[in-house]
Amino acid sequence: MKRQGLQFDEEGRLRHFITLDGLDRGTLTEILDSAENFATVGARQVKKVPLLRGKTIANLFFEPSTRTRTTFELAAKRLSADVLNLNISTSSASKGESLLDMLRNLEAMNCDMFVVRHNTSGAAHFIAEHVAPHISVINAGDGWHAHPTQAMLDMFTIRRHKGDFTALRVAIVGDIKHSRVARSEIQALSILGVPEIRVIAPQTLLPPEAERMGVHVYHSIEKGIRDVDVIVMLRLQRERMEGALLPSEDEYFARFGLTEAKLALARPDAIVMHPGPINRGVEIDSAVADGPRSVILEQVSNGLAVRMAIMAKVLGRGPQSEEAA
């Protein structure tokens, strides 16, 4: 049966990558397997494969993020695509040109893909609804809604260290309420069969629907990370402090910050993750962030391979083993 929905074309093939909602385990596993092939490209003398030669990818970042934009740009170039980085703050959008007018102009330049980051939830979905049929859209983060490529690079990192998802306990710690990363991670972990997903946060940083997300809720980090295999620390945005959701950074760190003493409560081979950027001394201690159980820098490296795999898949060409291996 053909898959339906905005993300799929008439033949049931993945056309856009906006959210993990509606995707199945086979699709996610296929992306992870493809990323394994692409992971070796960076070690070559010539760090390119020809899969997207002749394609043009436009990075539309309405919200700043140097690391995410750079990894998307590098991933596209390693696939031999041409890349257009649109500086929204100095573009005609800031001079009154509507979003749809901007899209039409980019379509007239024969772009094949838009990578979209926006501070409004649903922006990537809106763009995907209005682009020409030959264009694919990848969501690089929209508001509080979703960040599917971050979730997938984290799944890739977890699989490389832990193998079988169906035997894991995973804890996500921090600002669950405002985190698009947390929402996408919970979806990915659920799809891949993780039996126990824990979220750890103060009540003010939990969404009201937390219990319906299929997770176990903890308000104590000591209880929440006991015997877990993976710990995902989320960035605490300092504006939350100004909104009276938390009393102070020091108190937050004392109650929910990850230290070596707290990490000792997890399984001995537990790994520590963070989507970045890190607030040292707020959500995580430097000794943990830089310690032997941290895989934070691996996440950055893995982001290239995963984003290459996603770009190749939505543009209709998976990696040929002889080209990508």
Asked if 155 and 246 sit in the same domain, the reply is yes
Asked if 48 and 162 sit in the same domain, the reply is no
Is 3 inside a domain boundary? no
Asked if 100 and 200 sit in the same domain, the reply is no
Q: Which residues of 110-145 are buried (b: 16+ CB within 10 A; e: fewer)?
A: ebbbbbbbbeeeebbbbbbeebeeebbbbbbbbbbb
Residues labelled as active-site residues: 67-68, 95, 117, 147
Is 174 inside a domain boundary? yes
Q: How confident is the model at residue 5 (pLDDT cuts 50, 70, 90)?
A: confident
Is 4 inside a domain boundary? no
Would you say 199 and 240 are in contact if contact means Cβ atoms under 8 Å apart? no
Structure confidence at residue 64 (pLDDT): 78
Asked if 75 and 159 sit in the same domain, the reply is no
| Domains identified in the chain, total number | 2
**Per-residue pLDDT at 89 exceeds 70:** no
Mean of all residue pLDDT scores within the chain: 90
Identify which of 151, 162, 160, 152 has the alpha carbon closest to the alpha carbon of residue 234: 151
Asked if 127 and 186 sit in the same domain, the reply is no
C-alpha–C-alpha distance, residues 74 and 304, integer Å = 7
Give the CATH number, domain containing residue 233: 3.40.50.1370
Asked if 133 and 272 sit in the same domain, the reply is no
**Single-letter code of the amino acid located at 131:** V
**Single-letter code of the amino acid located at 273:** M
Asked if 54 and 68 sit in the same domain, the reply is yes
Asked if 132 and 188 sit in the same domain, the reply is no
Is 159 inside a domain boundary? yes
**Per-residue pLDDT at 239 exceeds 70:** no
**Chain segment 261-287, per-residue pLDDT in tens:** 999 999 999 999 999 889 999 999 999
Provide mean pLDDT across the span 14-42.
95
Structure confidence at residue 67 (pLDDT): 86
* Dihedral (CA of 185, 189, 194, 195) sign: positive
Asked if 130 and 170 sit in the same domain, the reply is no
Range of the domain at 233: 148-295
**Per-residue pLDDT at 323 exceeds 90:** no
pTM: 0.92
Asked if 158 and 285 sit in the same domain, the reply is yes
Is 81 inside a domain boundary? yes
Asked if 187 and 226 sit in the same domain, the reply is yes
**Chain segment 151-202, per-residue pLDDT in tens:** 999 999 999 999 999 999 999 999 999 899 999 999 999 999 999 999 999 9
Structure confidence at residue 46 (pLDDT): 85
Please count the other Cβ atoms lying within 10 Å of the Cβ belonging to residue 213: 17
Structure confidence at residue 95 (pLDDT): 52
Asked if 61 and 132 sit in the same domain, the reply is yes
C-alpha–C-alpha distance, residues 254 and 245, integer Å = 16
**Per-residue pLDDT at 94 exceeds 90:** no
**Chain segment 54-79, per-residue pLDDT in tens:** 999 999 998 878 889 999 999 999 99
